[in-house]
Amino acid sequence: MKPISVQTVWQILDEAKDVCITHELNGSYNLQFEYPIDSAKWEFIANNRICRVGDECFRIRSIDNNKIYALALYMDAQFKHIQYIGDMLGKTPRYIMTQLFKNTNIH
């Protein structure tokens, strides 16, 4: 079995331990791992930073001592208010999503 590699945009977090990804059916998609506080790369771990495991991206939501908890990046959409937009019948899914998320940092 290939080891799981956790990385931020800046650095590969090669000292990550107890990496655990949980995905609830129709629910949350979480990443949890431990990282030594005395590591030189600890400075790259902070709330709202994006980290990646394989092809999946996660946003760090909380840090408790050396335990890092992150939520799948696409889950950011649940924290955004989506304004009412009129009738979208006959529009493509891409058009609808573009309209719903315009003026937000979700692309």
Q: What is the pLDDT of residue 82?
A: 63
**Each residue's pLDDT tens digit, 83-95:** 667 778 888 988 8
pLDDT digits (tens, 9 = 90+) for 33-82: 999 999 988 888 899 888 888 888 899 999 999 999 999 988 877 766 66
- 6 pLDDT band, cuts 50/70/90, is low
Cα 39 to Cα 19: distance, rounded to the nearest angstrom = 17
The strand order across the sheet containing 50-53 reads: 12-13, 6-8, 50-53, 56-64, 67-72, 29-34, 17-23
